[in-house]
Every structure is written in C-alpha cells, then in structure tokens.
C-alpha cells in the first residue's frame, strides 16, 4: 500500500498550487463579492490545460489521470471554491459523459474544444420537481423526423449561461414493465445558441457566488437526432455514472475548502494575541487544530482513493460517495470551527474563512446530498 504521491503528481500539485496562489487567490474575494464569473481565469486555465486534465491527448486533453484532476480542483478550491467547481462541472459532468458514452464522431466534434478550454461544459439533470428523485424528470424530448424536440426546464445549472455545450437529461417515453410504468430517460448534447434554448433566472446563492448558476429553458428546442448521448433509454444510468465521477470533483472541492480554511486558521492563531499570548498557545486551540487536521487528512485519503479507483475500477460509486460524504461534511465542520477560531474577524468578509464556510455548505448538497451518499453507500454494503 503506497500513500505517497509520485514525483509527477508532486510536480503537478506544485503547479496547481502556484497557479492558484498567483492567478486565483487575488480574485477570490471579488469573485464572491460581485458574484462575478471568473472568465479570465477560465481562459488562462484553458491555456494551461486545466480544462482537460484527464482527457486523452488524442482528443486535445492533457492525458493525465483522475488523481491529477482531483488535485487540481482541490488546489483551486483551497483559495476559491467558485473556480474549483467551474473546472469540476466542466470536466466531470460534461466532458466525462461524452468521453464515456459518446460516439467517435461526438468525441471528435466536442471534446477537443472542451478539453482545451475554448468551450465550456455544463450538465442539466436537476429540475424544480426533480432533485434527489431524478426519476421525477419533466423535461421531454420527442423525436420528430431527424430531430429531437426538447421542452421543459432545468434549474441550478453550474456554468449556466457561460457554457457552450450542455449534457441534458430528458424523458423520451414511458416504459411499461410488469404492469408498472416508469419514465424512459435519455441523455442529449445541446449546444448554446440552438433556437428554443434560453436561460432563465440567475440564482443568488449563499456561497460559490461567482459560479454562474442558471435555469435552462427549452421551448421547442430542436437538436439533431445524432445528438443523443448513448443509447435511447439509458439516460438515467448515464446520469448516475456521470455523478459518480462528479462526486470525486466535489469531494476534491470540499477537501480544498477545508484545507484552505485550516491553513488560514493556523496562520491566524499564531498571530492573534489574547491575554498576552497567541491564541495558538492555548491548549484548546491546539487540540481543535489537531482534530481538524486529522479529519482533513482522512478526507484527503478518501478523495485520493476514489480518484485512483476511477482509474482502475469500472465502478467506483461507493468510493466516490464515501469521499464526497466525508469530505463535504468535513469541509462544513472545519470551516465552521475555523470561523469560530477567528472569533469576530471570522464573521467579517475580509477574512477568507467567512467565504469558505459559505462555500462549503453546497458541497453537502449538490451532486447528491449527504443523504443520497448514505443511500448509495448503505445500498451497496447492505444488499
């Protein structure tokens, strides 16, 4: 059992760390405060290959692995949760399903532009009435001649109006099996600019405020028949498998937030003086920091293990669910305690931990709530 990073992973980590520190951190506060999508950073990340890390070189990617990708999201999120999720949603939720389920033609058409960052990707599963219950989809796709016609709406879509390529899950029919009916669900690739595809409200959020979260609206939106992703009726499986990968990205984001908050707090408690001593000299602080550091380390091992499992195993649902459950709950606990250790300053926006605590909350909710992760884990180990 090897726990150390290889030399190339160490060098990649130092690259992500340097980039995050120089290019992302200086903008993090403004990104949050102004709810500003960091378009220039995304352009830079594209230039340096961050938008296609696990994609094979023949499709314009970097030819690296899921661990390198997870470390990238982690390091970005250490300084800015918004930037981390932009890369995660783009890579895990848009490129990954095209690479896994797309035809050779679809891969050639979409992936090189996405992997190089020339185009941005997004994924639409959630609807106002279909969150955790993904079967509750209302968006419909009907085949008319050589085109699918989409009607319905999606909500809470990360990368919202900034994306160019969207993976959209929609109902394509009703299946009757043993007297019970269920929805036939399929996945589609929809391009921005397609007539009938527009954007609704931009959500105002508690955290990750620079990430553009939009409603997508489809009104008689016609896409080519060939834009179906995978086989008709396999959309639910595609969505669930895509989310398995996505959860590794979100787990890495949560891990980064926890690490970022802890680093900032260790620095703070060594400087802040009360009663003639730094607060880091009080055993209460030392013990709290020790507990948080141990949890962050445990989260890191789960996240890296899940990323490695994605490389070597055909299914990694449980690993991804455990990583996301533990890392996101760790992020929430660590950031909350870090705010507490900052005292009144932790509640002030000038201090990064304030933002990190708000950013951390969503990691327990999106791409499967903590409750869903518990369902996935128990469903697998108790069957």
Partner 1 sequence: MKIIVCIKQVPDTKGGVSFNPDGTLNRGAMQAIMNPDDKAGLEAALRLKDQYGAEVTVLTMGIPKADDMLREALAMGADKAILVTDRCLAGADTWATSSTVAAAIKNLEYDLIITGRQAIDGDTAQVGPQISEHLGLPLISYAQSLKIEDGYAIVDRQFEDRYHVLKAKLPCVITALSELNAPRYMTPGGIFDAYEKEVIVWTRADLPELADENMGLKGSPTQIARASDKVRKGAGEKVNLDPDESVKYLIGKFTEKHII
Active site positions, annotated: 367
- For residue 369, the minimal CB distance to partner 1 (Å) is 31
Select the span of 13-21, 248-256, 267-275, 326-334 touching partner 1 (CB under 8 A): 13-21
53 lies in the site for partner 1, by CB under 8 A: yes
293 lies in the site for partner 1, by CB under 8 A: no
Contacts of 84 (CB under 8 A, 6+ apart): 73, 74, 76, 77, 252, 253, 256, 257
347 lies in the site for partner 1, by CB under 8 A: no
Restricted to residues 60-99, the positions that interact with partner 1 (CB under 8 A) are: 61-64, 68, 72
Q: Count residues near partner 1 (CB under 8 A).
A: 19
Closest CA to 50 of 38, 36, 33: 38
348 lies in the site for partner 1, by CB under 8 A: no
Closest CA to 351 of 367, 335, 364: 335
Near partner 1 by CB under 8 A: residue from 15, 143, 266, 377: 15
- For residue 45, the minimal CB distance to partner 1 (Å) is 10
Contact 166/190 with Cβ under 8 angstroms?
Answer: yes
**CA neighbours closer than 13 Å in the CB half-sphere of residue 214:** 17
Binding mask 18-47 for partner 1 (x = CB under 8 A): xx----------------------------
Contacts of 180 (CB under 8 A, 6+ apart): none
- For residue 193, the minimal CB distance to partner 1 (Å) is 30
d(CA 230, CA 376): 24
49 lies in the site for partner 1, by CB under 8 A: yes
- For residue 92, the minimal CB distance to partner 1 (Å) is 16
267 lies in the site for partner 1, by CB under 8 A: no
Contact 121/158 with Cβ under 8 angstroms?
Answer: no
Select the span of 4-12, 82-90, 333-341, 364-372 touching partner 1 (CB under 8 A): 4-12
Please give the backbone phi and psi of residue 119, each rounded to the nearest 5 degrees, phi first. -125, 155
Near partner 1 by CB under 8 A: residue from 33, 34, 39, 48: 48
Q: Which residues bind partner 1 (CB under 8 A)?
A: 6-8, 11-12, 15, 18-19, 48-50, 53, 57, 61-64, 68, 72
């Amino acid at each position: 059992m090897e726990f150390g990073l290889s030399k190339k992973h160490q060098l990649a980590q130092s690259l992500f760390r340097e980039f995050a520190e120089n290019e992302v951190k200086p903008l993090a506060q403004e990104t949050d405060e102004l709810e500003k999508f960091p378009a220039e950073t995304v352009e830079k990340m594209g230039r340096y290959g961050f938008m296609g890390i696990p994609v094979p070189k023949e499709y314009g990617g970097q030819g690296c692995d899921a661990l390198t990708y997870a470390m990238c999201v982690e390091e970005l999120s250490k300084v800015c949760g918004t930037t981390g999720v932009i890369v995660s949603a783009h890579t895990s939720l848009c490129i990954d399903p095209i690479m896994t389920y797309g035809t050779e033609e679809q891969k050639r058409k979409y992936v090189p532009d996405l992997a190089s960052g020339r185009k941005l990707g997004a994924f639409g599963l959630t609807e106002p009435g279909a969150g955790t219950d993904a079967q509750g989809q209302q968006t419909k796709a009907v085949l008319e001649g050589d085109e699918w016609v989409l009607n319905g709406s999606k909500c809470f879509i990360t990368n919202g109006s900034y994306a160019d390529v969207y993976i959209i899950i929609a109902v394509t029919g009703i299946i009757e099996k043993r007297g019970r009916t269920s929805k036939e669900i399929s996945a589609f690739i929809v391009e921005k600019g397609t007539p009938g595809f527009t954007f609704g409200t931009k959500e105002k959020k508690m955290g990750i405020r620079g990430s553009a979260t939009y409603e997508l609206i489809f009104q008689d939106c016609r896409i080519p028949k060939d834009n179906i992703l995978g086989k008709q009726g396999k959309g639910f499986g595609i969505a669930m498998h895509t989310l398995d990968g996505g959860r590794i990205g979100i787990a890495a984001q949560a891990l980064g937030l926890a690490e970022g908050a802890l680093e900032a707090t260790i620095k703070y408690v060594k400087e802040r003086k009360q009663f003639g001593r730094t607060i880091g000299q009080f055993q209460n602080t030392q013990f709290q920091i020790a507990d948080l550091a141990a949890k962050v380390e445990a989260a890191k091992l789960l996240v890296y293990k899940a990323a490695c499992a994605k490389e070597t195993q055909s299914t990694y649902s449980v690993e991804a669910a455990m990583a996301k459950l533990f890392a996101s709950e760790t992020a929430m606990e660590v950031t909350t305690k870090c705010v507490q250790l900052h005292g009144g300053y932790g509640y002030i926006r000038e201090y990064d931990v304030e933002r990190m605590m708000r950013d951390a909350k969503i990691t327990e909710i999106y791409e499967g709530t903590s409750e869903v992760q518990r369902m996935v884990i128990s469903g697998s180990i108790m069957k």
